[in-house]
Amino acid sequence: MIIKVLGPGCKNCKKLEANTRAALKELEIEASIEKVESMEEIMAYGIMSTPALVVDEEVKFAGKIPSVKELKKYLHS
């Protein structure tokens, strides 16, 4: 599983990354997490609001910071 956290590196992006790591740990899933900070790359996904989460090249959400519980639903399916 390849997970990308899209955002310019703001505190919300860092929170999303931390929550994602926590959710993966709770689910005992191994995944590669990449940070994408280039606006050109972010816009290539059609994202207009950050932070956003991409799992295996599928945009799961944008413009919010889901809780660890919510993230577990995105990552488990």
Dihedrals phi, psi of 62, to nearest 5 degrees:
-150, 150
Our answer to whether residue 10 is catalytic in this structure is: yes
pLDDT in tens, 19-58: 999 999 999 999 999 999 999 999 999 998 999 999 999 9
Please calculate the CA angle 43-45-46 and round it to the nearest 5 degrees: 65
Catalytic residue, chosen from 1, 2, 10, 39, is 10
What average pLDDT is seen over the chain?
93
Q: Domain count of the chain?
A: 1
Can you give the pLDDT at residue 72?
A: 92
The catalytic position among 13, 36, 47, 52 is 13
Write down the pTM of the prediction: 0.90
Q: Pairing mode, if any, of strands 32-36 and 2-6?
A: parallel
Residue 30's CATH number: 3.40.30.10
Domain with 60 in it: 2-76
